[in-house]
């Protein structure tokens, strides 16, 4: 009995699909762009963005410049966004804004251009080109529409993108430490501090500079060790001055104490 019911349901679904496809093919073959336009709007309202996009892409060359063309290009951009082709959507929204700058939809299109770039950006461990582009585009949006209803979302995008860039920059700098390229690590940490002066990673960066310089001193030729152990002491002092209650102080103090011992020993050997 259950098998018969399942077969009936499956057959019914197949009939619906076939009928739907047949209806769409009939619309697609029509030479009247208005039929495709109305059908596209109907599909869009039903959240069938796939079929909407097909029809709107077909009529776009015909309606461009007509009153309907504005809505076609705008909805087509949203179809691409909802189909998760974010970079295509971003480009389409940008094109819309540039073409219909005076449209009542221009503000939203500009926002969605930047927002689509943001959504397309990968996790912080990957290349952040899209994050940089999203930040720049969103800042331009705020400059253009400072009182926009999308303002709060735009600020959130900039903040989140900034955090991703910080994380990427921090991980890149720390990677030098992991591969034992200690001199490059110190330079990278300094560059990070200049690029992100308000970052919450700065405390750890100050500690990791002590670590990198200490390890560099350990593996250095003897003639370079006095200078480098002295730099360890200086970096430790910067950590203490900047973060007197840091959880990294206990580990850093060990390297500081050992550096002082090495400095005294090196100076003693030099004078003997």
Contact 53, 79 (CB under 8 A): yes
Rounded to whole angstroms, the Cα distance separating 52 from 213 reads: 60
Rounded to whole angstroms, the Cα distance separating 70 from 74 reads: 6
Query: Per-residue pLDDT for the chain (272 aa), expressed as one digit of tens each?
Result: 545 545 444 444 444 455 556 788 899 888 898 999 999 999 999 999 999 999 999 999 999 888 899 999 999 999 999 999 999 999 999 999 999 999 999 999 999 999 999 998 866 555 667 788 899 999 999 999 999 999 999 999 999 988 888 998 999 999 999 999 999 999 999 999 999 999 999 999 999 999 999 999 999 999 999 999 999 999 999 999 999 999 999 999 999 999 999 999 998 877 65
Contact 203, 248 (CB under 8 A): yes
Contact 118, 131 (CB under 8 A): yes
Rounded to whole angstroms, the Cα distance separating 265 from 248 reads: 26
What does the pLDDT read at residue 132?
86
Stated pTM of the model: 0.76
What does the pLDDT read at residue 268?
84
What does the pLDDT read at residue 2?
45
Residue ranges of domains in the chain, CATH in brackets: 23-83 (no CATH), 84-179 (1.25.40.10), 180-272 (1.25.40.10)
Contact 243, 250 (CB under 8 A): no
What does the pLDDT read at residue 12?
44
């Amino acid at each position: 009995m259950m098998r018969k019911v399942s077969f009936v349901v499956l057959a019914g679904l197949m009939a619906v699909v076939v009928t739907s496809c047949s209806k769409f093919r009939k619309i697609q073959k029509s030479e009247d762009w208005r039929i495709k336009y109305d059908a596209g709007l109907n599909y869009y309202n039903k959240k069938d963005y796939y079929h909407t996009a097909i029809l709107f892409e077909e009529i776009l060359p015909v309606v461009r410049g007509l009153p309907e063309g504005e809505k076609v290009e705008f909805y087509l951009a949203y179809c691409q966004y909802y189909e998760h082709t974010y970079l295509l959507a971003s480009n389409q929204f940008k094109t819309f804004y540039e073409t219909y700058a005076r449209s009542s939809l221009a503000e939203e299109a500009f926002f969605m251009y930047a927002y689509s770039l943001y959504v397309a950006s990968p996790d912080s461990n990957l290349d952040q080109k899209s994050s940089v582009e999203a930040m720049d585009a969103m800042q331009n949006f705020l400059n253009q529409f400072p009182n926009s209803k999308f303002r709060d979302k735009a600020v959130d995008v900039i903040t989140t993108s900034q955090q991703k860039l910080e994380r990427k920059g921090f991980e890149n700098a720390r990677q030098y430490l992991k591969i034992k390229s200690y001199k490059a690590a110190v330079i990278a940490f300094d560059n990070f501090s200049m690029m992100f002066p308000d970052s919450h990673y700065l405390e750890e960066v100050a500690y990791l500079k002590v670590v990198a310089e200490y390890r560099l001193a350990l593996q250095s030729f003897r003639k370079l060790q006095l200078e480098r152990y002295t730099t360890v002491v200086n970096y430790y002092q910067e950590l203490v001055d900047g973060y007197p209650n840091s959880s990294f102080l206990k580990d850093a103090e060990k390297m500081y104490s050992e550096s002082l011992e090495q400095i005294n020993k090196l100076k003693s050997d030099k004078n003997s």
